[in-house]
């Protein structure tokens, strides 16, 4: 039956009143996009935004499901990775939307990783002052983090995600089967966001990740479904409490103050996002120790887990002062003070703007060139 919906998928509701939406997690879920979108009552015109590689892998299944459900779908190809998140690419997407005669009831669908999702959400937020969009994340990083929460953006040449809007999706469909084809480096990159959720939000979830390292790395589907759904539940809880990133949602930026700066100073070409965040989390752990706010092994357990996942834990390249300059352009800076999320203990995050710059510089020097904690 073409309109039958799978019943074994986990569904996490993001409760935001009139902007509420479901996050569907389950193997094979991509093939249910047509009937699920039809049930939302949107218009019959849609556009699928993706890059050439992802469209070649999963475009056919998505397009067939949409067309069988009665949608007229245009395809919009964009560059792979962070190169998609530019004003020039967004303008090309607006032109294609006009050419496809999309109106305010039409839907944009993002099929790909976090960059495609960020771009598509931004285009949807700005086209005709806002049209519906759907997230179909195909990378682990996008599935556990970027696809949920409505943060959309393109990059400025001097700062990541500087130009954007809050625009919630109407639906998120996460299919762990797409991770089978994900390159190993990108898969490991996504694990940084999984670790982050455990460190600052839920100690039991962190322990579950620690216990499941072997199964996670061999991409055991039931384990991945459980971990992805766990991250989505944690992210949904935070978004519901703080949709537009006041204080509590800022906890999700653990490791990102340094991570975003590392990406910016290397023109987004040296590290994948999760790799930069991994280094940023190590820096945040060491900084918490220097400030005397970290209890017990709060720095060492994440460090061991990041190592086990094969993520970078040392800083090799940009000078500390170069990184500090880039951090000063972070959109979350307040009155010239850098925002840092620290973890006093596993499962608990703390946002502070009272970290001395000299202490940050010393911490960056500490993690340069040699493994923190030995090794």
Cβ atoms within 10 Å of 369's Cβ, excluding its own: 9
Q: How far apart are CA 176 and CA 120, in angstroms?
A: 21
Decide if 91 is catalytic.
no
Decide if 167 is catalytic.
no
pTM: predicted TM-score of the whole model, two decimal places: 0.90
Q: What is the pLDDT of residues 177-224, one digit of tens each?
A: 999 999 999 999 999 999 999 999 999 999 999 999 999 999 999 999
Mean pLDDT score, 62-74: 98
| Four-residue CA torsion sign, 33, 35, 38, 39 | negative
Mean pLDDT score, 40-49: 97
Decide if 366 is catalytic.
no
Residue from 85, 170, 273, 332 carrying the catalytic annotation = 273
Element (DSSP H or E) covering residue 264? helix 256-265
Q: What angle do CA 311, 283, 201 make, to 5 degrees?
A: 80
- Which residue is it, tokens 């203990």? 345
Q: What is the pLDDT of residues 134-167, one digit of tens each?
A: 999 999 999 999 999 999 999 988 778 889 999 9
Crossing angle, helix 300-308 and helix 203-211, to 10 degrees?
Answer: 40
Residue from 260, 286, 301, 332 carrying the catalytic annotation = 260
pLDDT at 372: 54
Q: What is the pLDDT of residues 249-281, one digit of tens each?
A: 889 999 999 999 999 899 888 999 999 999 999
Domains observed in the chain: 10-181 (3.40.50.1970), 188-366 (1.20.1090.10)
Q: What angle do CA 213, 214, 216 make, to 5 degrees?
A: 65
Is the per-residue pLDDT at 245 higher than 90? no
Q: What is the pLDDT of residues 301-329, one digit of tens each?
A: 999 999 999 999 999 888 999 999 988 87
Give the rounded percent of residues in the chain with a pLDDT score beyond 90. Answer: 82
Range with lowest mean pLDDT among 68-77, 102-111, 168-177, 334-343: 334-343
pLDDT at 198: 97
pLDDT at 68: 98
Q: What is the pLDDT of residues 104-140, one digit of tens each?
A: 999 999 999 999 999 999 999 999 999 999 999 999 9
Residue from 9, 85, 233, 235 carrying the catalytic annotation = 235
Give yes or no for a contact between 361 and 327, defined as CB atoms under 8 angstroms apart: no
Decide if 193 is catalytic.
yes
Residue from 82, 245, 263, 366 carrying the catalytic annotation = 245
pLDDT confidence band for 4 (50 / 70 / 90): low
Residue from 256, 286, 301, 332 carrying the catalytic annotation = 256
Is the per-residue pLDDT at 44 higher than 60? yes
Residue from 82, 177, 186, 193 carrying the catalytic annotation = 193
Decide if 156 is catalytic.
no
DSSP structure class, residue 145: I
Give the rounded percent of residues in the chain with a pLDDT score beyond 70. Answer: 94
Decide if 197 is catalytic.
no
Residue from 151, 167, 196, 332 carrying the catalytic annotation = 151
Nearest CA to 83 out of 160, 137, 174, 185 is that of 160
Is the per-residue pLDDT at 1 higher than 60? no
pLDDT at 193: 97
pLDDT at 172: 98
Is the per-residue pLDDT at 337 higher than 90? no
Q: Looking at per-residue confidence, does 111 or 336 come out higher?
A: 111
- Which residue is it, tokens 């839907």? 107
Residue from 85, 96, 249, 286 carrying the catalytic annotation = 249
Is the per-residue pLDDT at 2 higher than 60? no
């Amino acid at each position: 039956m073409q309109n039958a919906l799978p019943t074994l998928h986990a569904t996490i509701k993001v409760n935001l009143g009139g902007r509420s939406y479901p996050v569907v997690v389950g193997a094979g879920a991509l093939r249910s996009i047509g009937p699920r979108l039809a049930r939302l009552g949107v218009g019959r015109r849609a556009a699928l935004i993706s890059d050439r590689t992802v469209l070649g892998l999963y475009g056919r299944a998505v397009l067939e499901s949409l067309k069988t459900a009665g949608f007229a779908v245009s395809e919009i190809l964009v560059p792979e990775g962070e190169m998609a998140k530019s004003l020039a690419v967004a303008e090309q997407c607006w032109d294609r939307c006009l050419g496809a005669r999309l109106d305010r009831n039409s839907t944009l669908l993002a099929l790909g990783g976090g960059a495609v999702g960020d771009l598509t959400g931004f285009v949807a937020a700005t086209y005709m002052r806002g049209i519906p969009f759907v997230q179909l994340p195909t990378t682990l990083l996008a599935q556990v983090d970027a696809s949920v929460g409505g943060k959309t953006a393109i990059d400025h040449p001097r700062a990541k995600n500087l130009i954007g809007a809050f625009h919630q999706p109407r639906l998120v469909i996460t299919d762990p089967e797409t991770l089978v084809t994900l390159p190993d480096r990108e898969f490991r990159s996504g694990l940084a966001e999984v670790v982050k959720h455990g460190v600052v939000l839920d100690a039991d979830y962190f322990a579950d990740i620690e216990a499941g390292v072997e199964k996670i790395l061999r991409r055991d589907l039931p384990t991945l479904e459980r971990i992805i759904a766990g991250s989505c539940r944690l992210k949904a809880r935070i978004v519901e409490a703080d949709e537009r990133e006041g204080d509590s949602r800022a906890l999700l930026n653990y490791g990102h103050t340094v991570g975003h700066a590392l990406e910016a100073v290397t023109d987004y070409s040296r590290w994948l996002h999760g790799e930069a965040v991994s280094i940023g989390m190590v820096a945040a752990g060491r900084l918490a120790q220097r400030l005397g706010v970290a209890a017990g092994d709060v720095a060492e357990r994440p460090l061991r887990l990041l190592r086990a996942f094969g993520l970078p834990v040392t800083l090799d390249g940009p000078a500390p002062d170069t990184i500090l300059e880039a951090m000063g352009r972070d959109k979350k800076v307040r009155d010239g003070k850098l925002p840092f999320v620290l973890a006093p203990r596993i499962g608990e995050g703390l946002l502070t703007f009272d970290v001395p710059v000299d202490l940050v510089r010393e911490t960056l020097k500490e993690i340069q060139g040699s493994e923190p904690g030995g090794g």
